[in-house]
């Protein structure tokens, strides 16, 4: 997903004019690239969610950006394994459809519930489109990787 965010920033000409700027209570949200997050996955929100769920020590809790980056680079492989299992049970394209639907369902429910973001109905259109686009890119990459490794 890091590559997708980099490509989107280049297509948009750098800094977006809107994006994932605040939590539901208006608290500003920091983007991982030092810029405004393109969507909530591109901010410290995933790191904050992990820190709160796992009750990580206060030293780690002061660095949600580092936790979010580690999560982004680590969970791809773990979730990719879920696609492998779905493909064994359902075959393509249903494995990718269910995989992508699950990822988006988690994004649209867990960020508001655990990350205190506004509900998706209140996200700016570019944040929704970015979330959809990056998740589609991830699902396609997982399916293609699964194909290559078979």
What distance lies between CA 129 and its chain's CA centroid? 12
Q: Which residue has the higher pLDDT, 112 or 72?
A: 112
Q: What burial class does residue 135 get, using C-beta atoms within 10 Å of its C-beta: 0-12 exposed, 13-18 middle, 19+ buried?
A: buried
pLDDT at 16 over 70: no
Percent of the chain with pLDDT over 90: 10
pLDDT level of residue 2 (50, 70, 90 thresholds): low
**Predicted confidence band at 12 (pLDDT cuts at 50, 70, 90)?**
low
**Among candidate residues 29, 99, 96, the one with its CA nearest the CA of residue 64:** 29
Residue 144 has pLDDT above 70, yes or no: yes
> How large is the average pLDDT for residues 56-83?
70
pTM: 0.73
Q: How confident is the model at residue 14 (pLDDT cuts 50, 70, 90)?
A: low
Q: Where are the alpha helices (DSSP H) in 64-117?
A: 64-90, 94-115
Range of 27's domain? 2-149
Give me the percent of the chain exceeding a pLDDT of 70: 65
Domain count, the chain: 1
Cβ neighbours of 117 (radius 10 Å): 25
């Amino acid at each position: 997903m890091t590559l997708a965010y980099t490509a989107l920033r280049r297509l948009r000409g750098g800094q977006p004019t809107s994006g994932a700027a605040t939590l539901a209570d208006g608290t500003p949200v920091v983007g991982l690239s030092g810029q405004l997050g393109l969507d909530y996955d591109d901010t410290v929100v995933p790191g904050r969610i992990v820190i709160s769920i796992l009750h990580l020590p206060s030293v780690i809790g002061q660095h949600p950006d580092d936790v979010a980056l580690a999560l982004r680079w680590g969970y791809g492989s773990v979730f990719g394994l879920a696609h492998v299992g779905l493909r064994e049970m359902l075959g393509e394209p249903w494995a990718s459809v269910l995989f992508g639907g699950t990822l988006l369902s988690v994004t649209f429910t867990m960020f508001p519930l655990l990350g205190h973001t506004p509900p998706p109905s209140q996200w700016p259109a570019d944040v929704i489109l970015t979330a959809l686009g990056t998740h589609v890119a991830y699902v396609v990459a997982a399916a293609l990787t699964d194909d290559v490794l078979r």
